[in-house]
Amino acid sequence: MRLQKGGQRQEAAEALAIQALGFVAADPELLPRFLAITGIEPHQIRLAATEPGFLAGVLQFILAHEPTLLRFAEEAGIAPGEVGAAARALPLGNDDHDRSI
């Protein structure tokens, strides 16, 4: 999946983040870790997913652990770098981090 420009880029990033959330939710080791780190209860995930920054946070969770990143990228059929690009395309995904240094 290649990220597009503008609105298409954000839509593609959202789709990848939703796929990543499914990946995390389906893994009996990742899901408890994700819930513990975020402080979200399982029944709150749907509501949390509507909040700005949640989808970027899912991708940042994937990015924070290289073995998880590599496994997700392989399953999604994408290059690992596309996960970071997708996170930056989302609200509160640190789009400005490249220019902040």
Give a yes or no: residue 76 inside a domain. yes
Q: What was the pLDDT predicted at 47?
A: 92
What pTM did the predictor assign?
Answer: 0.83
Give a yes or no: residue 78 inside a domain. yes
Give a yes or no: residue 1 inside a domain. no
Q: How many C-beta atoms surround the C-beta of residue 92 within 10 A?
A: 14
Q: How many domains does the chain have?
A: 1
Give a yes or no: residue 6 inside a domain. no
Q: What was the pLDDT predicted at 100?
A: 34
The two three-digit tokens of residue 30, written as one number: 């990742």
The residue written with tokens 């298409």 in the block is: 8
Give a yes or no: residue 65 inside a domain. yes
Choose between 6 and 81: higher pLDDT: 81
Give a yes or no: residue 45 inside a domain. yes
Q: How many C-beta atoms surround the C-beta of residue 52 within 10 A?
A: 10
Domain ranges, residue 33: 28-95
